[in-house]
Homo-oligomer: A and B are copies of this chain.
Amino acid sequence: MKQNRVDAVLKNLDAMGLSQVLITDPLSILYLTGRLIKPMERFYALYLNNKGGHKIFINQLETVPEDLGVEKVRFSDSDPYLDYVFSAIDHGEKLGVDKNLPARFLLPLMDRSAAAGYENASLAVDKARAVKDEQERELMRRSSKINEMAMAALKERIRPGVTELQLAGEMEELYASFGADGLSFPPLVAFGANAASGHHYPDATALKPGDCVMFDAGCTYGGYCSDMTRTYFYKSVTDRQAMVYNTVLEAMQAAIDLVRPGVELRDLDLAAREVITKAGFGPNFTHRLGHFIGLEDHDYGDVSVSATDLALPGNIFSIEPGIYLEGEMGVRIEDLILVTDEGYENLNSLSKELEVVQ
């Protein structure tokens, strides 16, 4: 196990008045053990107790020869595995459980009075995952580097009559060729008015001169997600398109300039929103400024008008303002920002200057 991460979770648990937890989110178990198992519908859990006696419960169908640094309890589908879990739990204390622990596992534990009470304790893990250690920062940097190489190559594929679906498919191939191990989410490619919709999926729309071209995409590397958006213009750009673009870029920069430990996250959203509102497009910036990211594209934590948490060194979140003009165009620009001890590190360095692709 990654001891520093386990300690962070136990400390967060303690602040919630809990001494033990049953973690069932496979990505949280990956975070704590370094091992990813996808259990499908089968039981899979890591039990932590601040007095020790940690255990991991793994079905025998999974091949796990390596030492995970925690006692392995193996079981088959026909074994009474919830009895084994029951035996591990301190019955006199409350038990923290994962927010998504299914009733078919929780109710039988309750029926046996496995603990003195049960609480949703996901925040203890989610808050630890929101502060990336050096190993995680390095994986996030590499994931973003691959993302940038792929997106730069994709820009070169912009050509007359190409469809959104074609470019989206080529992006998946580019990721593989640059060494990504997966996708953060299916690549978004949107031309012209399609870019005005927050939920457009790439379709058979063909590129036309004068269109904006939005790429919003991310890959995974070592399990960690990248996520970046760039918006280009094809063949020409109007004064209005350029004004919208530069407003989004200015809003983005206003927010990035504020990033340092201790800043209230909502102040970043407000700074970007103020730039866009002053330019007259307030109602057209229809979403929060950003989201935390790590093992999931959308990790716990957001950068919105209601986010009163303070930025901590090790937080990594997106800053992605946008202006969406229905039936006309959309512009969004997105980088991932790491909060450092002194200020911030931008994980993305691909140019954000307005660019007309010929």
Contact = CB atoms under 8 A, between A and B. Distances in A.
Interface of A: 97-104, 106-107, 110, 118-120, 122
B99 A101 contact: no
A158 to B, nearest CB: 25
A172 B107 CA distance: 41
Contact of A97 (B99, B103, B118): B103
Given A99-B103, A103-B103, A110-B118, 14 more contacts: A97-B103, A97-B107, A98-B103, A99-B102, A100-B103, A100-B104, A101-B102, A101-B103, A102-B102, A102-B103, A104-B122, A106-B106, A107-B119, A107-B120
A101 B106 CA distance: 10
A133 B66 CA distance: 50
A103 B100 CA distance: 5
A144 to B, nearest CB: 26
Total copies of this chain within the assembly: 2
5 contacts: A97-B103, A100-B102, A101-B103, A102-B103, A103-B103
A237 B100 CA distance: 51
Contacts of A100: 102-104
Nearest to A78: B306
A120 B118 CA distance: 17
A116 to B, nearest CB: 14
Nearest to A110: B118
A118 B110 CA distance: 10
Nearest to A121: B103
Contacts of A118: 103, 107, 110
A288 to B, nearest CB: 12
A110 B120 CA distance: 12
Contacts of A101: 102-103
Contacts of A99: 102-104
Contacts of A98: 103
Nearest to A22: B103
A103 B104 contact: no
A120 to B, nearest CB: 5
A305 to B, nearest CB: 13
A343 B104 CA distance: 35
Contacts of A106: 103, 106
A100 B118 CA distance: 17
Contact of A104 (B107, B110, B120): B120
Nearest to A97: B103
